[in-house]
Chains A and B, each alone.
Chain A
């Protein structure tokens, strides 16, 4: 009797494609994040795109490889994101305005455009969403 062949043959295509796709997707997620205030995009959708790029890596390689790749674990990322969002609202309080009032710098910067506390809030959301999605998916993947 023939031995059955190994079913789980690792395909070369996905890891190779991921090597090119992941940086592009991550860049795209930052683009979405920065574009978000007045146009389609924002911290939430940017975070989802970034998290799916990272999960693509986890599928192509392994969940453990992704954990090794991440500079920060998902859970602290959630906490840091929340704190950042909270901080963005408190900036206004420190200058005597109601909580979460949007404060902007006067002159726009090149590339980034106008900077303000709403962007800081969006960055907080961005990290929060990456953290939550990776936390859930990695837990499921490693179970």
Chain B
């Protein structure tokens, strides 16, 4: 039962928010309570799964592979918890960060349905069901971008939805081909059947379709351009939520399918992944170098950071997968925190333009520190969380003899540091331009959740042991798909 709760809780709360449509305050309170409860449920789930390994529920008591299975292993549970924490922080921040107009046009029901989609995608064990959850989160996020109705919002939303619908179509085609080949879409059953099929080429074709589809969703090279085109249009609260959740679900789908299903031709598929990883890192960071808008710059860094977990997946060893999972959690926390800080800076000085910002270091030391910690963590400086994540990836890469990719990833880290230094110099360090608006005050609703998130990010860096142990356990499960298969199919021969 517990593993259905991460889906049911947001669904019920979304329905309740619809009933409370005309009472914004009640919706706000409900959202905070619901996200806090979600953190509790998912933390409990993680502790449970840590003991058992894999938890399964056969929905409607229809046995696998005929019904839909929900499967939560350590990887899913870890990401579920991270998602819930980010949702809670962003909802608290949104008490001030989301204006009354957006709440009145349905921000909170959409937020709940978005969470339902993300949680569903993270915990399903069926490929078609995964497609459905992707659609749920796509629709919810599409409306969240478009909400507010400005020309810019609609433009961003259309770019976002067109590319993502293309990805969904490709994914669905892949699902169709796979069903034609194996006659099942239950992931555990597929994992059992694919190695016995005499159709390696067709399976590889499906693998590439999935790679492109999830690659678009994860904003990996070469189809990442929808992200910087759309992420800077909604309020920063929404961007922060998206940066923490959406592309990461794409990465999760890649992690799941390319360890469970498509492992017949690793020499080919995972080499493609490695090339994609390198290209994603470089193109993201180069794109960021050209930006002078705080949010656009951070959006390009989302892309660049997606390359690192892909690198871990492509290397395909336990150490590299563990590092990739650790990295994923680290980047979800750090990236969301950076966007929230960007929102605070905008509140203080009324713009995202780095040229017009300035002087925040002398006036708001607290905000400067809140920016600096996740920024340096993103660049990978010790003793912050990004350092340990990248160290793990570099070690795994060298062990596999991928010297070039390791060099690329280190060079990109250096470029990230350059980029973060640029923001620091422009927004915080340099003298404030003369025509600057007077520094406004900052609500604790903005300050406290951001500080809590930065502290959490700091904590997993200073004490990386527990999280690394979890990531390692998750990676071990990923490399032993037979455990997953046995948990889902049980006694079925």
What is the interface of chain A, defined by CB distance below 8 A to chain B?
Answer: 75-76, 78-80, 82-83, 86, 89-90, 92-93, 97-102
Report the number of A-B residue pairs with Cβ-Cβ less than 8 Å: 51
On whether the beta carbons of B61 and A97 are closer than 8 Å, the reply is yes
Q: Which of A82, A99, A102 contacts B15 (CB 8 A)?
A: A82
Query: Once the chains are docked, how many angstroms separate the CA of A99 from the CA of B17?
Result: 23
Q: Kindly list chain B residues whose C-beta atoms are within 8 Å of the C-beta of A102.
A: 60
Q: Kindly list chain B residues whose C-beta atoms are within 8 Å of the C-beta of A86.
A: 8, 11-12, 15
CB distance from B294 to the nearest CB of A (A): 36
Rank and list the top 8 A-B pairs by shortest CB-CB distance, nearest first: A79-B18, A82-B15, A101-B61, A79-B19, A100-B60, A79-B15, A99-B4, A83-B15
Q: Which residue of A lies closest to B20 (CB)?
A: A79
Question: Knowing that A83-B12, A99-B4 are A-B contacts, what are 19 other residue pairs whose CB atoms are under 8 Å apart, sorted by A's residue number?
Answer: A76-B19, A79-B16, A79-B17, A80-B19, A82-B11, A82-B15, A82-B18, A83-B15, A86-B11, A86-B15, A90-B8, A92-B60, A93-B4, A98-B59, A99-B1, A99-B8, A99-B57, A99-B59, A101-B61
Query: Once the chains are docked, how many angstroms separate the CA of A130 from the CA of B243?
Result: 35
On whether the beta carbons of A75 and B21 are closer than 8 Å, the reply is yes
Q: Kindly list chain B residues whose C-beta atoms are within 8 Å of the C-beta of A78.
A: 15, 18
Main secondary structure of the interface of B (DSSP, over half): helix
Query: Once the chains are docked, how many angstroms separate the CA of A82 from the CA of B14?
Result: 9
Q: Which residue of B lies closest to A82 (CB)?
A: B15
Interface positions of B from 58 to 91, Cβ below 8 Å from A: 58-61
Q: Which residue of B lies closest to A97 (CB)?
A: B61
Q: Which residue of B lies closest to A101 (CB)?
A: B61
On whether the beta carbons of A75 and B4 are closer than 8 Å, the reply is no
CB distance from B355 to the nearest CB of A (A): 41
B1-29 toward A: CB 8 Å interface, digit per residue (1/0)? 10010001001101111110100000000
Query: Once the chains are docked, how many angstroms separate the CA of A93 from the CA of B57?
Result: 11
CB distance from B123 to the nearest CB of A (A): 12
Q: Kindly list chain B residues whose C-beta atoms are within 8 Å of the C-beta of A90.
A: 8
Query: Once the chains are docked, how many angstroms separate the CA of A97 from the CA of B1?
Result: 9
CB distance from A71 to the nearest CB of B (A): 15
Decide: A98 near B16, CB < 8 A? Known: A75-B21, A82-B11, A86-B11: no
Q: Which residue of A lies closest to B58 (CB)?
A: A98
Most-contacted residue by chain B among A80, A82, A97 (CB, 10 A):
A82
Q: Which residue of A lies closest to B59 (CB)?
A: A100
Q: Kindly list chain A residues whose C-beta atoms are within 8 Å of the C-beta of B15.
A: 78-80, 82-83, 86
CB distance from A52 to the nearest CB of B (A): 22
On whether the beta carbons of A98 and B57 are closer than 8 Å, the reply is yes
Query: Once the chains are docked, how many angstroms separate the CA of A75 from the CA of B19?
Result: 7
Q: Kindly list chain B residues whose C-beta atoms are within 8 Å of the C-beta of A93.
A: 1, 4
Query: Once the chains are docked, how many angstroms separate the CA of A89 from the CA of B57?
Result: 13
Q: Kindly list chain A residues whose C-beta atoms are within 8 Å of the C-beta of B16.
A: 79, 83
Query: Once the chains are docked, how many angstroms separate the CA of A130 from the CA of B130?
Result: 27
28 pairs, CB–CB < 8 Å, chain A vs chain B: A78-B15, A79-B17, A79-B18, A79-B19, A80-B15, A80-B19, A82-B12, A82-B14, A82-B15, A82-B18, A83-B15, A83-B16, A83-B19, A86-B8, A86-B11, A89-B8, A90-B8, A92-B61, A93-B1, A93-B4, A97-B61, A98-B1, A98-B58, A99-B8, A99-B59, A100-B60, A101-B60, A102-B60
Query: Once the chains are docked, how many angstroms separate the CA of A89 from the CA of B4?
Result: 11
CB distance from A87 to the nearest CB of B (A): 9
Query: Once the chains are docked, how many angstroms separate the CA of A101 from the CA of B60?
Result: 4
Most-contacted residue by chain B among A82, A83, A99 (CB, 10 A):
A99
CB distance from A88 to the nearest CB of B (A): 11
CB distance from B370 to the nearest CB of A (A): 38
On whether the beta carbons of B60 and A99 are closer than 8 Å, the reply is yes
